[in-house]
Amino acid sequence: MKKILRAAAWSAGGVVVLLVVAGCALYVVTQRRIDHKWSVAGHQPTIPSDSLALVRGQHIATAISKCADCHGADLAGQQFIDTPPVARLWAANLTRGKGGVATQLSDLDWERAIRHGVKPDGSALLFMPATEFQHLSDEDVAALIAYLKSLPPVDREPKPNSIGPIGRALFLKGDLVLLPAEVINHSAAHASPGAMAATPEYGRYLADIGGCKGCHGEGLSGGKIPGTPPDWKPAANITPTGIGHYTEEDFFHALRDGKRPGGTPIDTLMPYRFTKDLTDDEIRALWLYLKTVPPKAFGSR
Ligand code: HEC
Ligand code: HEC
């Protein structure tokens, strides 16, 4: 009996040692990537000062690219993930107030943060979806920066960020894009989307910068949203296989009222509280674009 107990104690001890070693390795490997300093030239923006550009910038920050979803309605920052085993992340205060980044960022720094996911000191921004915003055109990123610089100052100090063991494991496995700077082509040119009109081309641009692909997948066929807890609803298939039965009017209802054809509610994970403010032309452009994407089975790449 004593022998068996001793053997059990030894193997339990062995498991603990193994876990500690694996935990340290996980921490060291991921921390090296997190601490990597990027040397990104960026693209010097020309910041406009006309009121039309400010309106466009505000529309991008809210309805289109939904900065407000993470940075808060006043864009002055908030704790937007607070699940310590996964991560604790504070989305920065983007105003000129105390604790805000606006007093420290040059125009080029703003561009590097938004389209490249890199801070002025070269470190990668954690989880900030620059993978989507890298597609912003030169005019749109400049309008957005003009708007952010015009925000009224709000005093709000940031809280420290931390990445927990589950977050690190997901990151290592490739299930969580913790460092968008790693996957962005930093020297790519930024094409203009052409006319802001109800065309499939403009719809494609809006789907890129609007995060539809971030949640519904590169091929828009839906599936688990990377990094979300197991019990969260997967994103829907919005290729013609998934929404082929929609009429244009149904699509407006989905994006404005969060309702499917027939009236059943769409989960609030789908950010219709923001897409409701897209203009008619923008929703029509998205609709026309989604009709052109290849049909795919749910969750296929
Ligand atoms: C999914 C959540 C999310 C969305 C959406 C988002 N951000 Fe962020 N953002 C973050 C987080 C988290 C940080 C802090 C990252 C860090 O400290 O490493 C951040 C940091 C920043 C910074 C700080 C740069 C610095 O020097 O510290 C800027 C600028 C910024 N975001 C701009 C934007 C803009 C503009 C948009 C919309 C186009 C946007 N963000 C949308 C999560 C988000
Ligand atoms: C933050 C993640 C997220 C983003 C961003 C997002 N969606 Fe969704 N969307 C979802 C989820 C999750 C569902 C499924 C909700 C459910 O099952 O009730 C959904 C459902 C939908 C539906 C309903 C489909 C059906 O089953 O009938 C449509 C249409 C849709 N999204 C379109 C879009 C478009 C267009 C965009 C970009 C402008 C977009 N979504 C951006 C998460 C997202």
Over residues 8-31, the pLDDT tens digits come to 777 888 888 888 888 899 999 999
According to the model, what pLDDT value does residue 1 have?
A: 65
Give every CB contact of residue 5 below 8 A, 6+ residues apart in sequence.
Answer: none
* Average pLDDT score over residue span 20-49: 94
Whether 7 shows a pLDDT value over 80: the answer reads no
Q: Which two tokens stand for residue 225?
A: 């949203």
Which of 270, 282, 293 best tests ligand 2's pocket when mutated (most atoms within 8 Å of CB)?
270
Whether 52 shows a pLDDT value over 90: the answer reads yes
Q: What percent of the chain has pLDDT over 70?
A: 100
Ligand 1 geometric centre to CA of 159 (Å): 14
Whether 205 shows a pLDDT value over 70: the answer reads yes
Average per-residue pLDDT for the chain: 94
Please state, in angstroms and rounded to a whole number, the distance separating the CA atoms of residues 278 and 93.
25
Give every CB contact of residue 15 below 8 A, 6+ residues apart in sequence.
Answer: none
C-beta of residue 145 within 8 angstroms of C-beta of residue 57:
yes
Q: Which two tokens stand for residue 294?
A: 């290849």
According to the model, what pLDDT value does residue 193 have?
A: 86
Residue 64 near ligand 2, beta carbon < 6 Å: no
- Comparing C-alpha atoms, which of 284, 248, 281, 253 is closest to residue 266? 253
Higher pLDDT, 248 or 225: 248
Q: Which two tokens stand for residue 88?
A: 């604790």
Looking at the CA of residue 209, tell me the nearest atom of ligand 1: 38
Please state, in angstroms and rounded to a whole number, the distance separating the CA atoms of residues 34 and 128.
13
According to the model, what pLDDT value does residue 301 have?
A: 73
Q: Within 13 Å, how many C-alpha atoms sit on residue 75's CB side? A: 22
